[in-house]
Structure formats: structure tokens, C-alpha cells
Chain A
């Protein structure tokens, strides 16, 4: 595929946080939050990024938006390298990429009205003002299922689900092409989650959006994603189309993850795969394949050699020595 057809490309993203010790802050080691992550997103597509907490998915999401600078690696937006951009250029690009945050309570400034919150991106980029701006804000509110009457209210007057809708309206204000959803529904009640997810899906169709959907909840990811990447300790261990991944998970970690998901069907037979031990700290990673200490299918090779991400079926990649 030609490069220009990818909306977003992440290549070899790494983020190491130094651990400082002593008066002179000498780095005693690094927390390797993200250790070599690559993926691509097409226009109008949803890429799911799934993994346990601490696996680096949120950090990856922030690197995509350049809220955190990658230690290594590049992010290309429509072929342009974000790392090489000047401040003005970067500001322009920010109109095209937006983010929806996890916590509906802290992601909205408690002292701003809904009008001000949603109007802020419009003001920053000088997209409209006065009456035109008010009309646009009303339009956005209706788009996310709220009403014009909510414009003068404050965040504390809304429920969690409604606040998340306000956050979505805010993200859409500049007509972005890519929206990074960082655990966007994880803090909501289950019934409300479904509503918001449906909203996101409709908006995607209506506005031809791409999503990078980050979550630890497999059911949610399955519902909304076209393709899914599974992350473990800062690396992608498996990548496939949604159906393919759920139909036949290849990596032992993915298999364990899926086995833990409750299945409403009482007749479904399922073996719960239990992993040994706990996930190690990202400051002190195992050698070879990072998963080997917990892997039920670990071999000798796994202790010394880290497996590369390889395509084993059409559109299905795994990083495992079993394949």
C-alpha cells in the first residue's frame, strides 16, 4: 500500500522514563514504558489497542498525539513526521487529531461552562466567533445527544455519561480525522458505556473518523474495533482483524486474556488459563521474550531470544516462537 493512504503511522515507538537517584539526579535505570511499538491506521478505521494496566497503551496513545515525546521512533500523520514539525505546524495538525480522556470528572475544567469547554478549541484555532461559534457549539451538542439548553451549565451538573459526551463534542469541534479514545468508556457504568460506544460508532460513520481505541476491556474493544493490537509490557504481541483475533487468538497471552472474559452463555465450555505470577515491573524486564516467565507454553528459546512480530496468516501478526 502506498504511504499516503495511511492516515497515521507509528514506527518503532519507544518511551523510556529515567529513574533518578542521588543529589545530582543520575539515572539509575529506566522504566521502559513502551519498547518498540508500530502500527498503522487507515482513514475511517478503528484500531483497538488492548492490554492490562501498565502495559504502556496510554503512553502510546499520548505519543501518537505528541503529548509525550517519544524517546525513539516516529509518528507520521499522512506521511508527515510529527517530530520534525515546528510549533505552528504542530498546532495546525492538532486540529486533525484529538483525544477523549478516561475520567469524565477531571477532563473538564470545573470552572468553565459547557459553551466555554466546547468553544475552547474553536477559540484556540480561531475557527469562529460570536454567533457563528454559538451555533457551532449547539450543533456539536446535538450531535452527541445533548441539547442547546445545556450550554450555560457547569460540568458538575451532569452525569458521567453526559460529561463524556461533552468531551466528545469538544474533541469534534475542529473536525478532526483521527480521535484517540484513551479508556473513553472505562469510567462509566455498563449501561452508559453502551450508549457512548454507540454514539462513537455513529459519529464515525457520519463524520468519517478514525479511532485509536485504547482499553483494557475486551468486550468493548471487540464491539468497536476493526483491527486490534494486543500489548504486553510495552510491546505488541499480536495484531489482527477483530474477528480473526477473537475467533482464533494465537499468542499465549492473548489466549489467557480471552479466557478470563466472562461469557454470558452458561453452556459455553471454557478453560480458564491461569498465568503464573504477576506482571513484572517495567523497570526490571525479563530477558528474551518478556512474557516467558508467565507463559504456559514457554520453551528454552524464549528465555534468551525475543521473538519478532511476524505475519503468520493474512493480516494476522504474532510475536511468538511457537509460530
Chain B
């Protein structure tokens, strides 16, 4: 089991490295850079000034050298400074990351709270109208673009109730009411997609388990239907749901970009959006690293949970 975890962690780190190199190289391959953009605003500038600025930012060195410098810094916890605002990237991230985490966390909780029960109902009432209704709802939910949903919510809330979410952002600790008021709507919009997937996954996993021999034995023992469902079948299906969250977290994270933009939430999503167009390399690099890291971390946790649940992996002393 330990070996299993170690292998997974090493693999995750390797992927993180590949991903970092990939983004680093791509950013520098594409024409146009920070200096050109920044100076375009300042008006006409001489060649020497451009070269000096580039040198200051370390952009004149060969790509692989820049990569090594950045990696060295990153390993020591220094992610560099924003090329635009000179702020340390670490600080920017430290402020923005918790916001996005809160958003994602709220979405996941909402999705599971809505998705799992509905999925159970659909599976239990398999074939009846409740099942059909839930399934139609689910697939519709999957098809609706989350940002459109966000827009619709804002539009109709203000049209019908005259209410708009607060403009300024406050952290949860500062002002929980304002915070939730601001966060709940984008969290809902994000949650729709994930709940739809959760409903479908819970339903199909539960159906498969309910028809399995294992459950037939439990029923034959005379256990009541309720126990059958909750104690036995559900536990087995939850594994699939856990995996699903791991897979879908990528979509959720991607959704934060547009939704933070629409609802003016100062999180990682809006940060990466703002800085990519500006070619602010260090910030973008760090953002991609964080996003990728989150994705890898979540999947690592899923893998470990899997390994823990599956006794075959848990009790393996060496791999054959």
C-alpha cells in the first residue's frame, strides 16, 4: 500500500513537471511578449530601452535557461514577480487561491448534496416516471453552458426580485453574509454540471450494484430494502462517485474562470484570465501550476482512496 502511494506521488510530480515545461515553452514560442505589450502603451520606445527592459526581466536568455532559473526559484518557494505590477506572485496567489477554493468547495458540496440523493432515487425507481424525469433533468443540466446559467440567474433575479449580488468581495471571515451572498450564485451555476454528472454516475453505479449477485445474497438473507440500499449498495457505488469527482474536477476548475469573471470574484480564475492576455509569464506559469497541481492532487487522493477501499491493493506487499 505504501509503495502504491509513493508510486502515485512520484508519477504526479512527474506529470506536474511535464506540464510546467509545456506551458513554459509554449508561452515563449508564441510571438509577442510582455515588453512589447507594456511598451506599446508607453508609446514609441527605443531599441535600447526595450533590450534593457527585456534583460531586466531575464527574457533575453535562452528558453531552457529561463526554465531552469524559474524551476530553481519555484522549488525554494519563490515564484518570481509579476512582470506588470512587480508584485510577488506568491502574494497574489495567496490572496486569490482561497477564494477559488471556497468557490470550488461550495460547488462540490452542493453537487453531492443534490446529485447523490437524486441519483439514488432514479436508481431505486428505475424505469418509472421519476427516473425518466431525473434523467432528462440531468442530461439537460449537462448541456447548459455554466456561464449562461450564471447570466440567467443574475438577469432573472434582478428582473423578478430586484436583487443583485454585492459588488465588493469580502472573505468569509470578514463578513460571512456578504461572502455567501456573492459566492452562492456562481457556486450554484458551477454545481449544475457536476450534479448532473453525479446523478448519472450514482444512478448507473447503484443500478449495477443492485443487480449484482452480492446484493442478491443480502436480500436473500432477509434484510429490509432500506438496509439493502443504504448499507450495502450505496457504499459500493460511492467509489464510482469518488472517481467521478476526480475526473470532473478539471471541468469545475475550468468553469471558475468564466464564472469568476461574470460575478467579479477575485479568485484564481479571473487572475489567469487577466494575465494571459498581458503575457505576464510568471503569474500565468504559477496559475497553471496551481490549477494543474490541484487537479493532480485531487486525483491522487482519489487514487489513494481507491487503493484503501480495494483490499487487493491495500494488502499487497509487492507487486507481481
Contact flag (A, B; Cβ within 8 A): yes
The chain A residue with its CB closest to the CB of B6 is A23
Q: A20–B320 contact, CB under 8 A?
A: yes
Q: Whole-angstrom distance between the alpha carbons of A23 and B3 in the complex?
A: 9
Docked-complex contact A21 and B3, CB < 8 angstroms = no
Closest to A20 in B: B320
Taken together as a complex, chains A and B put the C-alpha atoms of A21 and B319 apart, in Å, by 6
Nearest-neighbour CB distance to chain B for A280, whole angstroms, equals 20
Q: Does B76 sit at the interface, judged by CB under 8 A?
A: no
Please report the C-alpha to C-alpha distance between residue A21 and residue B317 in the assembled complex, in whole angstroms: 11
List of A residues within 8 angstroms of B3 by Cβ: 23
Q: What is the CB-to-nearest-CB distance from B5 to chain A, in angstroms, rounded to a whole number?
A: 13
Q: How many interface residues does chain B have, given as a range?
A: under 10
A1-52: which residues lie under 8 A (CB-CB) from chain B? 19-23
Interface residues on A, range: under 10
Select from chain B the residue with minimum beta-carbon distance to A22.
B318
Alpha-carbon distance A20/B319, docked complex (angstroms) = 9
Chain B contact residues: over half helix, strand or loop, or mixed?
Answer: loop
Complex Cα spacing A21 to B7, Å: 15
B320 / chain A contacts, CB cutoff of 8 Å:
19-21
Instruction: Report the separation of the CA atoms of residues A149 and B320 in the bound assembly, to the nearest whole angstrom.
Output: 51
Nearest-Cβ distance from residue B307 to partner chain A, whole angstroms: 15
**A-chain residues with CB within 8 Å of residue B319 when the two chains form the complex:** 21-23
Q: How far is the CB of B14 from chain A (nearest CB, A)?
A: 15
Scan residues 116-152 of chain A and give those whose CB is less than 8 A from a CB of chain B.
none
Q: Report the minimal beta-carbon distance from A148 to chain B, rounded to whole angstroms.
A: 47
Q: What chain B residues lie within 8 Å of A22 (beta carbons)?
A: 318-319
Q: Which residue of chain B has the shortest Cβ distance to A25 in the bound complex? A: B319
Least CB separation from B320: chain A residue = A21
Contacts of A20 on B, CB cut-off 8 Å? 320
> What chain B residues lie within 8 Å of A19 (beta carbons)?
320
How does the 8 Å CB contact mask read for B301-320 relative to A, with 1 for contact and 0 for none?
00000000000000000111
B263-320 with Cβ < 8 A to chain A: 318-320
Give residues 229-261 of A contacting B (CB, 8 Å). none
User: What CA separation (Å) do A22 and B317 show in the bound complex?
Assistant: 9
CB distance from B316 to the nearest CB of A (A): 11
For the complex formed, measure the closest distance between the CB of A207 and the CB atoms of chain B, giving whole angstroms. 47
Interface string of B1-20 (1 = CB under 8 A from A): 00100010000000000000
Bound-complex Cα distance A23 to B320 (A): 9
Within A128-183, which residues are at the interface with B (CB < 8 Å)?
none
- B62 CB, nearest partner CB in chain A, Å: 36
- From 266 to 286 in chain A, residues with beta carbon under 8 angstroms from any chain B beta carbon are none
Whole-angstrom distance from the CB of B42 to the nearest CB of chain A? 57
0/1 string, B47-82, CB within 8 A of A gives 1: 000000000000000000000000000000000000
**Residues in A whose Cβ lies below 8 Å from that of B7:** 23
Give the shortest distance, in Å, between A26 (CB) and chain B (any CB). Answer: 10
- CB-defined contacts of B318 to chain A, threshold 8 Å: 21-22
Q: For residue A109, give the distance in angstroms from its CB to the closest CB of chain B.
A: 31
CA distance A19 to B320 in the complex (A): 8
CA distance A193 to B318 in the complex (A): 46
Query: A275 → chain B, closest Cβ, in Å?
Result: 30
Hey, which bits of chain B sit against chain A, CB under 8 A?
3, 7, 318-320
Ranked nearest first, the 5 interchain pairs of A and B with the lowest CB-CB distance are A22-B318, A21-B320, A21-B318, A23-B319, A23-B3
8 other contacts beyond A22-B319, A23-B7, with CB at 8 A cut-off? A19-B320, A20-B320, A21-B318, A21-B319, A21-B320, A22-B318, A23-B3, A23-B319
10 A-B pairs with CB atoms under 8 Å apart are A19-B320, A20-B320, A21-B318, A21-B319, A21-B320, A22-B318, A22-B319, A23-B3, A23-B7, A23-B319
